[in-house]
Structure 1
């Protein structure tokens, strides 16, 4: 399987949306929702933690061969018994049992996640008929993996999405850990799936190409999930989004004056697009990954001004063309 390997508040939101992106209709067409597609999420953490014997685990490995191989790596073990022994040890681990109990409490009801993901799959299938709806499993990863996605299977490590106040936490920087919460799960999945349709020019290794790639990914997610707040798509807080728009002219000027769009040095590109608590080349108050946010704005303008469909957008591998035809200009705050 191919692996496809993220009051004053009201006032700030008004600024963000009035000076920001073009409005997106917050609804899915009935033609999309009426498709014959029903999603079931299999709660494998329950099945594996209620298993008690070697025979129980043998049964589960046979029942879910895709999970056994694609997630547990069954073929990498010297024998099935080796894998089963490891699973039995995990089952008996007291910390893992505490973690499992916490997941059972926090994620007792995942019907909203299931419905959001089902609607997202319907929208993807509508725009991209070749999309194969994958099987979806939840599991207790022991903080080994948050999301595993292939074209055929998705595994959600629910322990990653426990409240940030929980005793057990994944080994992540605080600024990243705050994004591992229930509202981010489906947008994360949809953004990852976008890579199946996000055509690129492999010879173009410029910062602009990277910016447009992420811009297309976020635009895809917003098109598939139009009622989802931008913060759950890009992982910025509402305040950070408002501040970005308030300083968009300054941010754009920095990119232009420093001739960053056609930069090819990977270190320089990472400074503006890689995971970081802030983009210190611009300001320690500016959130990280600003190049991705800027790329999203460029792509939004391209789609709006050129009136292309989501399919046409994702099929276009030419970052330079998308930029030139976007007519992008920073949103003036005057």
Structure 2
């Protein structure tokens, strides 16, 4: 757990013909049936408790008070004893750079009520569509860029230092095109995307590019359905300009996939060109954003849901990528359509 650590857990989200440059989109409110559910989220700011602890005994008390956090996030099982983990944390928190980082986090996230409220509404929406969903405990922490986000069935831990503004002096050791997606407005969409995985049924035998495209398309569609007021840029991680230009060139992009018979490609190296993290999709153009296969998958899934009028839970439970594609009726939008 050092300031220079690069261990990262990235989670690497309705029709999307409008491109909002701000965070919120108009006419997008959740229904009163969703909002009025009896569900409350309280985010526990553990970075404050841990940074005010001054002795090994105080740290051990915190370990006992928050066992899930200690096991999953601090990875207690990797240490010979609670005393050794407490001693390491004590040394880290006395480091001058770590103190400056912690102070920066406290200033930037002193008021976290907006994220707390957005997360509460997101959980209400998930609970509405998926009644089996159990609300996890939510914590924040400052780890020295050791871990950005952990999402399990039982808990969520947000590494706030990762989500300082991209212009901040302290930055995680990530490529710039990825680091720009670590900002406050991305926190809740990233959590919702991670949660979507537990509902996103797939066919493990289908190793085609199409299956990857549909998987991510369902992920983004789920996130947009749960967070209808969140701009697309905070879901897929493209700038508004990149979203607009992608739609302007959708026919060209789709032609590239069709002419090169990419939908049924099974070579992992080729699939990674269109699905994996990259600053651009150079197989198409160095000006095209990366992950265009995911973006196309989102369009296909949106069309499938719209044309087949399937409920969100039914959509997420459909493992057949070929069926979703065939019944989507997908075709590229023309620029002025």
State yes or no: 1:17 paired with 2:18.
Answer: yes
Q: Which residue of 1 aligns with 2:317?
A: 315
1:163 shift after superposition: 1.2
Q: Which residue of 2 aligns with 1:215?
A: 217
Scaled by the length of structure 2, the TM-score of the pair is: 0.93
Deviations 1:222-251 (A, max 9, x none): 000001000000000000000000000000
Q: What SS does the aligned partner of 1:295 have? A: helix
* C-alpha separation in 1, matches of 2:114 and 2:178: 24
* C-alpha separation in 1, matches of 2:304 and 2:104: 45
* Pairing 1:180-329 to 2, within 5 Å after superposition: 180-329=182-331
* Pairing 1:127-206 to 2, within 5 Å after superposition: 127-206=129-208
State yes or no: 1:122 paired with 2:95.
Answer: no
* C-alpha separation in 2, matches of 1:98 and 1:76: 27
Aligned counterpart for 1:332 among listed residues 327, 331, 334 = 334
Q: What SS does the aligned partner of 1:123 have? A: helix
Runs of 4 or more above 6 Å deviation: none
Q: 1:100 to 1:222 in 2, by over 3 A?
A: same
* C-alpha separation in 2, matches of 1:219 and 1:295: 10
Q: Which residue of 2 aligns with 1:36?
A: 38
1:25 shift after superposition: 5.3
* C-alpha separation in 1, matches of 2:79 and 2:184: 33
Deviations 1:132-181 (A, max 9, x none): 11100000021111101111010000000111121111001111111111
1:217 shift after superposition: 0.2
Deviations 1:286-326 (A, max 9, x none): 00000000000000000000000001100000000000000
Is this contact kept in 2: 1:4–1:149, CA < 8 A? no
Is this contact kept in 1: 2:11–2:193, CA < 8 A? no
Scaled by the length of structure 1, the TM-score of the pair is: 0.93
Q: Which runs of 5+ in 1 are unaligned?
A: 7-14
1:24 shift after superposition: 9.5
1:33 shift after superposition: 0.6
Q: What SS does the aligned partner of 1:82 have? A: helix
Deviations 1:86-137 (A, max 9, x none): 1111111111100000000000000000000000000000000111111000
Is this contact kept in 2: 1:160–1:170, CA < 8 A? yes
* C-alpha separation in 2, matches of 1:4 and 1:27: 28
Aligned counterpart for 1:27 among listed residues 9, 16, 29 = 29
RMSD value, Cα: 1.6
Is this contact kept in 2: 1:4–1:150, CA < 8 A? no
Is this contact kept in 2: 1:4–1:195, CA < 8 A? no
Is this contact kept in 2: 1:24–1:226, CA < 8 A? no
Q: 1:300 to 1:60 in 2, by over 3 A?
A: same
1:4 shift after superposition: 10
* C-alpha separation in 2, matches of 1:47 and 1:109: 16
Is this contact kept in 2: 1:16–1:241, CA < 8 A? no
* Larger RCO of the pair (alpha carbons < 8 Å, separation 6+): 2
* C-alpha separation in 2, matches of 1:200 and 1:163: 35
Q: Which has the higher helix share?
A: 1
